[in-house]
Amino acid sequence: MARVFVLNGVNLGALGTRRPEVYGTRTLGDIEGELREHFPGVDLNFRQTDYEGEFVGWIRESAGADGLVVNPGAWSHYSYAIHDALEAIAVPKVEVHLSNIHAREDWRRTSVISPAVDAVVAGMGSYGYRVAIQYVLEH
């Protein structure tokens, strides 16, 4: 059975209530449930934290998995620690953003994480997670 880590970072635990006009009304639990139904034969390891060091540790742990999907939230725009952790592991990796970060504030348009992953999905809402998981399973 394939094992995929799905790591969610800072403020993603507030999905469903935080800026629903941008991020939608679905909670992280809703998204997880949908993905478990869509990928029944895959061991999906979902985690969320507001602590950058914990997130980095989980990235290292995912080195033994078949793939990694990350939504670091705002850390995408400034965390070189997360970039370096991603760069150090050799599994298929996809960065996900619920909103289209390229159509938002200037500071959100650059991700320091993107150069350390294989693909980026942005602006597809929760469906982006499904695309990302499918990508890592095929690579």
Residues known to be catalytic: 23, 97
> How many of the other CB atoms lie within 10 Å of CB of 65?
17
Paired with 14 in beta bridges are none
Q: How far is CA 95 from CA 1, 20, 119, 129, in A?
A: 23, 21, 6, 9
Q: CA 28, CA 52: separation in Å to the nearest integer?
A: 18
